[in-house]
C-alpha cells in the first residue's frame, strides 16, 4: 500500500475554488481503480496550505491514475489556483 501526500499552496483568494473542485472530484478519485482512500487536510498555519492524503494499492495504480484523463482534467482545474509549486511524497509503512 502506497500512501501519497501532496502539499498544495493556494492563492488566498482561490481557496474556495479549490475546495469546490476537491468536493466535486473526491468521489471520482476515490473510485479510481487501485485507490482506497482520499482526504484533504488543511495546515493550521498558514491556512492556505493543504495536503491531499491518498492510499493506493501500489505504485502502478498511482501511475495509472497520474496518466488518466481524470488526473489531467483535475490538474488543469487546480494548477492555476496554486501560489507555489506542489510537493509530493509517496510513502510506505515502516517497521
Q: Are strands 87-91 and 49-56 parallel, antiparallel or unpaired?
A: unpaired
Task: Report whether 70 contacts 21 (CB < 8 A).
Answer: no
- What do you get for the CA distance between the two ends of the chain, in Å? 14
Using the Cα atoms of residue 28, residue 30, residue 35 and residue 41 in order, give the sign of their dihedral: positive
* The three grid cell numbers given for residue 20, joined into one nine-digit string: 469546490
> For 2-91, CATH number?
3.30.70.100
- Sketch the domain layout of the chain as residue ranges: 2-91
Please give the Cα distance from 11 to 30 (Å, whole number). Answer: 25
Tell me: the pLDDT tens digits for 44-78? 999 999 999 999 999 999 999 999 999 999 999 99
pLDDT of 95:
78
Amino acid at each position: 500500500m502506497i500512501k501519497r501526500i501532496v502539499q498544495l499552496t493556494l492563492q488566498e483568494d482561490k481557496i474556495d475554488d479549490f475546495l469546490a473542485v476537491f468536493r466535486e472530484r473526491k468521489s471520482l478519485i476515490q473510485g479510481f481503480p487501485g485507490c482506497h482512500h482520499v482526504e484533504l487536510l488543511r495546515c493550521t498555519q498558514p491556512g492556505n496550505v493543504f495536503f491531499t492524503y491518498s492510499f493506493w494499492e501500489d505504485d502502478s495504480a498511482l501511475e495509472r491514475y497520474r496518466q488518466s484523463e481524470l488526473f489531467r482534467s483535475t490538474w488543469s482545474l487546480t494548477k492555476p489556483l496554486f501560489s507555489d509549486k506542489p510537493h509530493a511524497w509517496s510513502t510506505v509503512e515502516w517497521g
